[in-house]
Amino acid sequence: MPLTHSDAWQYFTRSSDKKSATCNLCGANLTYMGSTSNLLNDVNNKHQSSAFSNDPQSPMSSFVSTPKKVSASESERITCTTVKD
């Protein structure tokens, strides 16, 4: 599930002047001027595994990096279907 704007404050602490926020995960100090988009970009781009640790969905890499094992006959069928004369 994507993070919403209010979710940003789980990962950031607003400065006393309310013009910046510090990432609680990496300490980056980012500009905050009324919109949390910049803050959410930091979380989504740099801390995805931390931000989505409670997400019940598997990461896309688990589908891409793990080849599916198929039998020789299934492999032949796929090849013949793909490479038709």
pTM here is 0.52
Q: Which tops the pLDDT comparison, 52 or 8?
A: 8
More confident residue, 6 or 39: 39
| Full domain range(s) for residue 56 | 5-82
3-state SS, residue 55? coil
Please give the tally of structural domains in the chain.
1
Residue 12 has pLDDT above 80, yes or no: yes
Determine the 3-state secondary structure of 47 from DSSP: coil
d(C-alpha 76, C-alpha 81), whole Å: 8
Detail the DSSP E strand segments found in the chain.
Answer: 12-14, 20-23, 29-31
Q: What is the mean pLDDT of residues 26-35?
A: 88
Q: How confident is the model at residue 20 (pLDDT cuts 50, 70, 90)?
A: very high
Average pLDDT for 12-36 = 89
Per-chain mean pLDDT for the chain: 78
